[in-house]
Amino acid sequence: MPEITLKDDRQFHAPSGKRLVLALEDNGVDILHRCGGHAKCTTCRVQFIRGEPTCMTEAEKERLEARGLLGEVRLSCQILCESDMTIVPINRVSSSDVEDAGPRPADSITPNPVWVDAPASRSRTVHNT
Ligand code: FES
């Protein structure tokens, strides 16, 4: 099972193939997912310190590009737990003015994923040498 490490050193194991956003939420991280995991809102964004996947869904790429965030952050609703990762969840209920995280994302990635190569990001070039 992949090991997920948070910047505060908290660690947990996630079932292989689980959506990262759900693995975080199910382990007590109050990460936002305001669009319900459809790659629309970007509130589920995380910053990678280690273990950033080298592929991404086309929907994630398009959304991050549109928001000027490509290469900076990743969308946890578009990532499957397939290897060890160290991440920083960015938007949380406890540090926002919203009352809840948003609708629970489905167990499978939505929209139906089309996988493409992820562009080189700061975390991969700096931390994954
Ligand atoms: S983009 Fe909205 S929950 Fe991921």
Per-residue pLDDT, averaged over 15-21, amounts to 98
Q: Is the pLDDT of residue 124 over 70?
A: no
Tell me the sheet residues that pair with 13: 3
Write the secondary structure of 19-46 as one string of H (helix), E (strand) and C (coil): EHHHHHHHCCCCECCCCCCCCCCCCCEE
> Which H or E element spans position 58?
helix 58-66
Which domains are delineated in the chain? 3-96+110-127 (3.10.20.30)
Confidence of residue 113 (pLDDT cuts 50, 70, 90): very high
Instruction: Please state, rounded to an integer, the average pLDDT across all residues of the chain.
Output: 94
Task: Give the tens place of pLDDT for each residue, 77-105.
Answer: 999 999 999 999 999 999 999 999 999 99
Please work out whether the CB of residue 64 comes within 6 Å of at least one atom of ligand 1: no
Residue type, 40: K
Task: Give the tens place of pLDDT for each residue, 38-74.
Answer: 999 999 999 999 999 999 999 999 999 999 999 999 9
Please work out whether the CB of residue 53 comes within 6 Å of at least one atom of ligand 1: no
Q: How far is the CA of 12 from the centre of ligand 1 (A)?
A: 22
Radius of gyration in angstroms for the set of CA atoms belonging to the chain, rounded to a whole number: 13
CA–CA separation, 129 vs 127, rounded Å? 6
Q: From residue 86, how far is each of 35, 58, 98, 106, 124 by CA, in Å?
A: 24, 23, 26, 23, 12
Q: Is the pLDDT of residue 127 over 60?
A: no
Cβ pair 111, 60 in contact under 8 A: no
Please work out whether the CB of residue 35 comes within 6 Å of at least one atom of ligand 1: yes
pTM of the model: 0.94
Atom of ligand 1 nearest to the CA of 39: 1
